[in-house]
Every structure is written in structure tokens, then in C-alpha cells.
């Protein structure tokens, strides 16, 4: 495919994606739409490739109904063919850092690591524990904050190493996976609505999520009805949000 066609096609997909608030409840959505979109979401970028997110696919009528109630009964949730709960799993950092390091080691096939590979291993095995480790009272986070901001007085420094920053990092990556998911659904001619107007505490309980998990957003998926899109697409002028330096 020519680059121009790919670019036009991508713009069409972006145009197609709207926040849809009313789905056709009589339409039977093929199984593979969400499956394909989830596989595409797996390719979304994630901080340090840790993939600290999960997607929980809700298809059964019983759970969907309960979940729609926890999405404050929003029309999008009540009429969706499926609901997908995007969740962050910051608590999995250790397991994922280990997984990445093991992948790097196994790619060596017994050969000595070069400097670049040694750097990558040090990143996952030494820097990651420093970056992600925290105690429940965030005392470690406070000392990391002091240390990094002191260093930051003298040179550029990565400063996002406390508990809150770790949560933000996980939510950023989860949102990128969510957007990749929604664009993939749009590419299949179907529709979505991202929702954060939800009760995350009750959703965690409903899906039996562990303490370390946080609800990032719930995505309603289905086929739009003629009233599915509430109005024209409104955006502030580009110069309000895009700056060129």
C-alpha cells in the first residue's frame, strides 16, 4: 500500500471514531472485533515495555448489566454489545521487569552481552527496582523525591519515581492501549465510548480485581444507532493546544 493511502485511511479511521452514546441493541457484533482490537492494543507502546495494564472483556448479559449500573447507568454502557474495563497493574512492575530481562538474556543464546545489552539488563534489574520500589507510607518515595530534585538542581533528571508518579506512568500506558483498542474497533467499522464517569471501587469488587489494580476507564463497544453521536465534533482552535517551538 502507498504511504499516502495509508495516511488517508488512518485519517478516515480517526474521523470515524466518535464517543458513541447509543448502540444498536438488536445488532449481533461478530466475536472477532473486540478480539482483534485487543490484539492490536497489545502493540501499544508502554513505559519501559512493562505493559502495566489489563483489559477485562465483559460479554455476559449478567455481568454487563451490573457493570452498566456501575457506569452510572450511562446510555453507552446500557446499550453496548460488550464492555471492556481497562485496568492498571502498577503492582506487577517486578514481574514484568524480570520478564523483560529474561527475554533479553534468552536472546543472547549463551553469548556474552555487549555494552548495549548490559545497559538494557541494568535498566531492568537495577534501575527499575529503584524507580518502582516503594513502601506503603511512601517514605522511600519521599527520599527519592529529595534525592532526585537535588540532583535536578544541577542537571536534567528523571524525577517521576514516587508512588503517585508510578501510578501516572501506568495510567498513561493504559490509556495508550485504550486508544489503540478504540481505533482498531473503528477500523472494523464499529464504535466505542470511553467512560471514566464510573464507580471504580465497585467495579474492582465486581471483577474481583486485586488491591494493586486501578480502573483506568471502561470502554463501551457496539454498532452506533442513528442517534448514537450526540452532535458535531467540537474542538478548540488548533493554536489553542498545538504550539510549535
Ligand X SMILES: Cc1cc2nc3c(=O)[nH]c(=O)nc-3n(C[C@H](O)[C@H](O)[C@H](O)COP(=O)(O)O)c2cc1C
Q: In what order do the strands lie in the sheet with 82-89?
A: 53-58, 82-89, 213-222, 191-195
Neighbours of 119 (CB within 10 A): 11
Using the rule CB under 6 A, is 64 a contact of ligand X? no
| Residue tagged 505493559 (cell numbers) | 51
Using the rule CB under 6 A, is 238 a contact of ligand X? no
Q: How far is the CB of 181 from ligand X (least distance, A)?
A: 12
Using the rule CB under 6 A, is 224 a contact of ligand X? no
Q: CB-wise, 131 or 174, nearer to ligand X? A: 174
Q: Which long-range contacts (CB under 8 A, 24 or more apart) does 39-44 make?
A: 40/180, 40/181, 40/183, 40/184, 41/177, 41/178, 41/180, 41/181, 41/184, 42/177, 43/180, 44/173, 44/176, 44/177, 44/179, 44/180
Using the rule CB under 6 A, is 76 a contact of ligand X? yes
Using the rule CB under 6 A, is 233 a contact of ligand X? yes
Query: Following CA atoms 131, 158, 243, 3 in sequence, which dihedral angle do they give, to the nearest 10 degrees?
Result: -60
Q: How far is the CB of 118 from ligand X (least distance, A)?
A: 39
Instruction: Tell which one of 16, 18, 78, 160 touches ligand X (CB under 6 A).
Output: 18
For residue 92, give the C-alpha cell.
506487577
Q: How far is the CB of 29 from ligand X (least distance, A)?
A: 19
Task: Give the interface segment with ligand X, choosing from 48-56, 85-93, 99-107, 195-203 (CB under 6 A).
Answer: 195-203
Q: Interface mask (CB under 6 A) for ligand X, residues 155-194, using x and -?
A: --------------------------------------xx
Q: CB-wise, 141 or 200, nearer to ligand X? A: 200
Using the rule CB under 6 A, is 196 a contact of ligand X? yes
Q: CB-wise, 54 or 125, nearer to ligand X? A: 54
Q: Which residue, judged by CB position, is nearest to ligand X in the bound state?
A: 197
Which residues, other chains included, contact 101 with Cβ-Cβ below 8 Å and sequence gap of 6+? 121, 124, 125
Task: Give the interface segment with ligand X, choosing from 18-26, 36-44, 88-96, 143-151 (CB under 6 A).
Answer: 18-26
Q: What angle do CA 85, 21, 240 make, to 5 degrees?
A: 90
Q: CB-wise, 86 or 97, nearer to ligand X? A: 86
Q: CB-wise, 44 or 76, nearer to ligand X? A: 76
Answer positive or negative: Cα dihedral of 135, 137, 140, 144.
positive
d(CA 83, CA 222): 9
DSSP letter (8 states) at residue 31 = T
d(CA 109, CA 162): 36
Using the rule CB under 6 A, is 21 a contact of ligand X? yes
Interface with ligand X by CB under 6 A: which residues?
18-19, 21, 74, 76, 193-197, 217, 233
Amino acid at each position: 500500500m502507498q504511504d499516502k493511502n495509508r495516511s488517508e485511511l488512518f485519517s478516515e479511521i480517526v474521523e470515524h471514531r466518535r464517543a458513541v452514546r447509543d448502540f444498536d441493541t438488536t445488532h449481533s457484533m461478530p466475536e472477532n472485533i473486540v478480539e482483534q482490537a485487543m490484539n492490536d492494543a497489545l502493540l501499544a507502546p508502554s513505559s519501559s515495555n512493562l505493559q502495566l495494564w489489563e483489559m477485562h472483556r465483559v460479554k455476559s448479559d449478567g455481568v454487563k448489566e451490573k457493570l452498566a449500573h456501575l457506569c452510572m447507568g450511562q446510555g453507552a454502557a446500557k446499550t453496548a454489545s460488550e464492555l471492556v474495563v481497562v485496568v492498571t497493574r502498577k503492582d506487577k512492575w517486578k514481574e514484568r521487569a524480570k520478564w523483560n530481562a529474561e527475554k533479553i538474556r534468552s536472546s543472547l543464546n549463551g553469548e556474552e552481552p555487549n555494552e548495549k545489552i548490559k545497559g538494557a539488563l541494568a535498566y531492568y534489574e537495577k534501575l527499575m527496582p529503584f524507580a518502582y520500589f516503594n513502601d506503603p507510607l511512601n517514605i522511600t518515595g519521599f527520599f527519592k523525591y529529595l534525592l532526585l530534585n537535588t540532583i535536578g538542581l544541577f542537571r536534567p533528571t528523571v524525577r517521576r519515581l514516587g508512588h503517585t508518579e508510578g501510578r501516572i506512568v501506568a495510567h498513561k500506558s493504559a490509556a495508550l492501549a485504550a486508544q489503540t483498542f478504540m481505533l482498531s474497533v473503528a477500523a472494523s467499522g464499529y464504535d466505542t465510548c470511553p467512560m471514566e464517569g464510573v464507580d471504580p471501587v465497585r467495579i474492582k469488587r465486581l471483577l474481583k480485581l486485586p488491591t494493586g489494580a486501578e480502573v483506568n476507564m471502561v470502554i463501551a463497544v457496539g454498532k452506533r444507532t442513528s442517534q448514537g453521536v450526540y452532535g458535531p465534533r467540537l474542538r478548540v482552535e488548533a493554536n489553542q493546544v498545538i504550539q510549535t517551538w
